[in-house]
Amino acid sequence: MSQVHLTTRTLNSLQSEDTPYFIRDATLRGFGVKVNPSGQVKYVAELWHEGKSFRKTFGAYPLLSLHEARMKALEIIADIKAGVHEIHQKDLPLGSLFEQYLSGGRLKPRTIQDYREAVGFYLADWLDSPVHSISKDMVEKRFYEIRDKGINGGKPTFSQAAKTMRILSALMNYARADELIDNNPVDVLKLKRVDRGTRKREHYLKAEEVRELLRVTTSDSHPMVLGLQLILYTGLRKNEALKLKWDDLIEVDGVFCLLIKDPKNRRPHYVPVTSATQAIIDKARNSTPYLFPSTQKKDSHIKDTRSTLNRLAGLLGFSFQCHDLRRTFATRATEVGIDYLMVKRLLNHKSNDITAQYIQWHSRENLLVAKRVLEMVRY
């Protein structure tokens, strides 16, 4: 690692190489930067203390200024000297790494809960093991155990095996970023071409099945039933629909919309209110903050879908899940002539297309276009 007086000019002049390299600051001992092959410049605080080596990678230039990074490095170094970082980073347990990963602010509460359930069940016996001790053989063996035999009394499950390894891979990449390990052991599954692809569900309701569903629920004003009807006419995700508040019914340049403030792709989603959705909204009128309030818990939206879905299955003679209705909406939209790109927009699917990211879908004219095509979705 070379040593120079780090300045903004120095950082701006850094060039990436085929392998990562470090530059130590000559002004503040223990402070430096790591330059990745991608060109990303990450700040590093490191210290040899009481016979142990500590290194913490934090922040990236220029998102974090050089001055701010020096202050942060001083805090980290002071914490290490004070014994706050008592665990030798190279011996960091998987459980501690997992908690660091979850606290990064990138994941939604539902995702965090989902990750905790998977890791807590399928990797419980690994949580006290140092990250670097988890080997390729362990990963491969655990994947096949979950998939083919089941562990901890659970049944064999392909989907949970794939999901657990997907989470573990993310954790190991996180550990690589902090240089706790050199290689991701989960990569062995990719190198051996082990099939980990999640089986995509394809079930949806045909138009005649939807008509029967709407017929048997014509006079049903149960919040869950109304929520299901809304999904059929908007394509919203279950939680997006059921969490709606009356405050989310807004007017944008004269167009009434349902505003999904925090969707999966984190880009606010505006759903113009059509005649079909207005009828559902009118039927849902109540004195709580929610369009679809819980029937059991005060000041909360309805959450338990099972009893309503089971009841409807008994009336209809066939069963379905909430997400089946989102697929039903998308399928019906194409059947009535709505083009693929518009369906993608209505579903608010994430797009990596740069041009699409420039378009402001909540302009008045774009909302009117969306309303016209939503009116086309009939069963």
pLDDT more than 70, % of the chain: 96
Whether cis (ω within 30° of 0) applies to the bond prior to 62 is yes
* Domain contains 196: no
State in Å, rounded, how far the first CA of the chain is from the last one. 67
Residue 243 parent element (H or E): none
* Domain contains 198: no
Cα–Cα distance measured from residue 314 to residue 319, given in angstroms and rounded to the nearest whole number: 8
- For 296-327, write each residue's pLDDT tens digit: 888 899 988 999 999 999 999 999 999 999 99
Q: Kindly report the CATH number assigned to the domain that includes residue 171.
A: 1.10.150.130
* Domain contains 202: no
- Residues 231 and 313 reside in one and the same domain: yes
- Residues 77 and 108 reside in one and the same domain: no
- Residues 146 and 230 reside in one and the same domain: no
- For 332-352, write each residue's pLDDT tens digit: 999 999 999 999 999 998 777
pLDDT, mean of residues 240-267: 91
* Domain contains 199: no
Q: Kindly report the CATH number assigned to the domain that includes residue 275.
A: 1.10.443.10
- Residues 110 and 244 reside in one and the same domain: no
- Report phi then psi at 29, rounded to 5: -65, 130
Residue at a domain's end among 41, 68, 86: 86
Residue at a domain's end among 52, 86, 120: 86
Q: What is the DSSP string of 2-40?
A: EEE---HHHHHH----SS-EEEEESSSTTEEEEE-TTS-
* Domain contains 348: yes
Contact between residue 218 and residue 302 where contact means Cβ atoms under 8 Å apart: no
- Residues 243 and 335 reside in one and the same domain: yes
- Residues 179 and 74 reside in one and the same domain: no
> What token pair was written down for 157?
């499950």
Residue at a domain's end among 142, 161, 191: 191
- Residues 82 and 98 reside in one and the same domain: no
* Domain contains 173: yes
* Domain contains 218: yes
- Residues 222 and 349 reside in one and the same domain: yes
Q: What is the DSSP string of 115-132?
A: HHHHHHHHSGGGTTSBGG
* Domain contains 228: yes
- Residues 249 and 296 reside in one and the same domain: yes
- For 279-304, write each residue's pLDDT tens digit: 999 999 999 999 999 988 888 999 88
- Residues 267 and 336 reside in one and the same domain: yes
CA dist 63 → 11, 33, 58, 71, 88 (Å)? 12, 14, 11, 15, 28
Lowest mean pLDDT among 28-32, 159-163, 180-184, 257-261: 180-184
Interstrand relation of 2-4 and 21-25 (parallel, antiparallel or unpaired) = parallel
Cα–Cα distance measured from residue 249 to residue 91, given in angstroms and rounded to the nearest whole number: 51
- Residues 71 and 173 reside in one and the same domain: no
Q: What is the pLDDT of residue 197?
A: 67
Cα–Cα distance measured from residue 82 to residue 74, given in angstroms and rounded to the nearest whole number: 12
Count how many domains the chain has.
3
Lowest mean pLDDT among 80-89, 181-190, 253-262, 333-342: 80-89
Least Cα distance to 240 among 217, 280, 268 occurs for: 268
- For 116-166, write each residue's pLDDT tens digit: 999 999 999 999 898 999 999 999 999 999 999 998 888 899 889 999 999
- Residues 234 and 318 reside in one and the same domain: yes
Query: Which domain does 327 fall in, by range?
Result: 207-375
Label residue 291 exposed, middle or buried (CB < 10 Å: 0-12, 13-18, 19+).
buried
Contact between residue 332 and residue 235 where contact means Cβ atoms under 8 Å apart: no
> What token pair was written down for 40?
């990303």
Strand partners, 60: 42
Q: Kindly report the CATH number assigned to the domain that includes residue 58.
A: 3.30.160.390
- Report phi then psi at 290, rounded to 5: -105, 145
Compute the residue count for the chain. 379
Identify the top-confidence range among 37-41, 62-66, 81-85, 222-226. 222-226
Interstrand relation of 255-260 and 269-272 (parallel, antiparallel or unpaired) = antiparallel
